[in-house]
Amino acid sequence: MSDDPSEAADQRLAAVVAKPRSQVAIESLQAEGVYDDARSVTEWTADSVAVPVTAPPQETQFREIVRQVGERRLRTLDDHLRERGWTDEEIERAPGSWAVLGSVVLVDIGDSPRPSEVGEALLSLHGEAETVLARHGISGDHREPSVEVIAGDGDTETVHTEHGTRYAMDLAEVMFSPGNKAERARMGDIVDPDERVLDMFAGIGYFTLPMARAGAHVTAVERNPTAFRFLVENVRLNGVDERVHPYRADCRDVVPGFAEEARADRVVMGYYEASAPRAEDSRAPPDASYEYLDSALTALAPGGVIHMHEATPNPLVFDRPIERLEAAAAEANRGVEVLDTRRVKEYSEGVAHVVVDARVQ
């Protein structure tokens, strides 16, 4: 090693890890406090990446510690786009945010010029990523995403690790909202061991997995066949087979089992429209006013807690979901005690994703 201080400053440490576990390693290094976020993750070999660190890690597994020699890497998307000849006006139209989910970068491309160049710049910025997907929205009864590969090898299947929970998914087939990260973690924190939980709209296990890892017994219901396949895979991936009971069904068809046996201590309603007044439905009793809230209350034990998600216009935030919950409970001759309200994120312009936590007597 040279004794020249300026040369030593350009020799920075990196931990070499296998590509498939790069996201897990990054989160572990962040937890240790040795991840260097001033530099980019770079490809090291065909099957590994070099993750920048400030000191050799003590708790994170790695193949070897190496020195990255050379100039300080570009840090921002703007820097990478300027290097590609973009003007300030064009950069103003570039994406301002994106999410790295395992080996996939998910980005709202908007009206950005030259999307493929944006994709290539994001791959340069995130050396652990292999595919960049432009997200165009969610539609249909099964909440299926519309995406487009704009850079990389095009593989949309990945495993994303978040607060120790592993989510296998195909981002071209199932939705995953990066903005719900804190809410997913919170559900794992508030549940008690051995609680009996009904997750009415489980998806790939967004809330089911953190709760099961915390010791709850979760009945997870999902009717989308693709999401259900990943739900089952994720239950095994996280080692919670004994605590999760997955059903591919309409949640309203599973609820009678709770009414006949032990009711749930906690019900999670993660579908934005679950609190809406009932549409015409031949299976619903004539006097029912709400399509899913009635089922949730039927499944919930006295004194149990309900977590109701809703997409609410800003002027109605918290008032509308609380009024709907109270109306449904009143029809069932039950009382509601609101425990907490939270704004999770902006769902769309003028509409917020909110959650109401309530105890139902």
Model pLDDT for residues 13-45, shown as the tens digit of each residue:
999 998 888 888 888 898 888 998 878 788 888
The pLDDT tens digits for 182-204 are 999 999 999 999 999 999 999 99
Runs of H (alpha helix) within the chain: 5-9, 22-32, 77-83, 88-92, 115-125, 181-190, 208-213, 225-237, 251-260, 293-299, 319-331
Q: Is 283 helix (H, G, I), strand (E, B) or coil?
A: coil
Tell me if 168 is assigned to some domain. no
Q: Are residues 56 and 118 in the same domain?
A: no
Write the single-letter amino acid at 273. E
pLDDT at 286 over 90: no
Q: Does residue 60 form part of some domain?
A: yes
**Residue-range definition of the domain harbouring residue 102:** 77-155
Report whether pLDDT(282) > 60: no
Q: What is the mean pLDDT of residues 167-175?
A: 95
Q: Count of CB atoms within 10 A of residue 47's CB?
A: 9
Q: Which of 125, 155, 185 is the last residue of a domain?
A: 155
Range with lowest mean pLDDT among 57-66, 310-319, 324-333: 57-66
Q: Residues 217-231: pLDDT tens digits?
A: 999 999 999 999 999
> What pLDDT is stored for residue 49 in this prediction?
87
Q: What is the CATH number of the domain that holds 144?
A: 3.30.300.110
Looking at the structure, do residues 354 and 207 belong to the same domain, yes or no?
yes
Q: How confident is the model at residue 1 (pLDDT cuts 50, 70, 90)?
A: very low
The total domain count for the chain is: 3
Is the sign of the CA dihedral 327, 328, 331, 336 positive or negative? negative
Q: Does 260 appear as a known binding residue?
A: no
Is 222 a known ligand-binding residue? yes
Q: What is the pLDDT of residue 15?
A: 92
Q: Are residues 209 and 287 in the same domain?
A: yes
Interval 233-256: pLDDT, tens: 999 999 999 999 999 999 999 998
Residues 47, 110 share a domain: no
pLDDT score at 285:
44
Are 334 and 239 within one domain? yes
> What is the residue-averaged pLDDT of the chain?
88
